[in-house]
Amino acid sequence: MNESTRRKVNLVFDQKPSFHHAFNTKFSLAYIKNKKVLDIGCWTGQFEQLASKYTKNITGIDPGIEAIKTAKKLVPKASFRVGNALNLDFKENSFDTVTILDVLEHIPKNTEDICIKEIKKILKPNGYLIISTPHAHPISTFLDPAYYLIGHRHYTENKLRNLLTSNDFKVIKVKKTGGIYRILTTLIEYFFKHILKIKFNTPKWLENKIKSEYKSKNAFAQINIIARNNY
């Protein structure tokens, strides 16, 4: 998560949960409800705004000091602390569920195994790990400018399965989401955010297209996985 230490908080973009945060909450719901949850890479707590309504308690960590200060103000019912995915400073067997949503691709290259081992230490036996990350589909990879600029990683289902099973996790659910409308909208949002410095308000018709892609069996942009910790 070293990129988070360089990224600056912008409340125009980093305050309200997005549709993607809402999807992640819905996808995770059965595995976070009434559970003690750790969210790795929480940034300003957009996921916590939604998930904290259902969890027993939720803790978010992120290396961004400014982001954590902001998260504490935005979501007072959740707990937040500065932390790193490669050194989880919690007691063993502390959490029922760990989420790492759109974060795995940002940690230093070739440290994914270290990250999963750290998660395993602090996750209870038969606890759940929930991952979302860009899917290594030719279209989603080709249309991702961060892939070329900063080596933004995309993962195949097999690579993620191998990473998890080699650390004695059992994959119990896989779902691919998003498509061309989601990808193109993200590109437009990047342009508005980084070039025009204003927020892009997604038209209703485009929002509906994106929502339909999340339900499609032909989705390919993102991959979401739920795995159980076996001992």
- Yes or no: say if 231 and 168 are a contact pair by the CB < 8 Å rule: yes
- Yes or no: say if 128 and 226 are a contact pair by the CB < 8 Å rule: yes
- Yes or no: say if 64 and 4 are a contact pair by the CB < 8 Å rule: yes
Is it the case that residue 145 has pLDDT exceeding 50?
A: yes
Is it the case that residue 187 has pLDDT exceeding 70?
A: yes
Average pLDDT for residues 125-145, to the nearest whole number?
A: 96
Q: In terms of Cα–Cα distance, which of 58, 146, 133 is closest to 101?
A: 133
Q: Which pLDDT value is given to residue 14?
A: 86
Q: Per residue, what are the HEC states of 92-138?
A: CCCEEEEEEECCHHHCCCCCHHHHHHHHHHHEEEEEEEEEEEEECCH
Provide the residue count of the chain. Answer: 231
The model's confidence at residue 5, banded by pLDDT at 50, 70 and 90, is low
Is it the case that residue 197 has pLDDT exceeding 90?
A: no
Q: How far is CA 181 from CA 28, 132, 187, 211, 212, in A?
A: 23, 19, 10, 9, 10
Strand partners, 175: 224
Structure confidence by residue, pLDDT tens digits, 33-61: 999 999 999 999 999 999 999 999 999 99
Mean pLDDT, rounded, of the chain = 94
Q: Which pLDDT value is given to residue 220?
A: 96
- Chain center to CA of 217: 21
SS3 184: helix
pTM value is 0.94
Average pLDDT for residues 139-168, to the nearest whole number?
A: 95
SS3 172: strand
Q: Which pLDDT value is given to residue 91?
A: 96
Average pLDDT for residues 81-101, to the nearest whole number?
A: 97
Of the candidate ranges 82-86, 178-182, 196-200, the one whose mean pLDDT is the lowest? 196-200
Give kind and range of the element (H or E) at residue 212. helix 204-215
Is it the case that residue 1 has pLDDT exceeding 50?
A: no
The model's confidence at residue 88, banded by pLDDT at 50, 70 and 90, is very high
Pairing of strands 79-82, 57-62: parallel
pLDDT above 90 covers a percentage of the chain that reads 84
Q: For residue 88, what is the DSSP state?
A: -
* Count of CB atoms situated within 10 Å of the CB of 92: 9
Q: Which pLDDT value is given to residue 7?
A: 79
Per-residue tokens: 62: 């992120």
The model's confidence at residue 176, banded by pLDDT at 50, 70 and 90, is very high
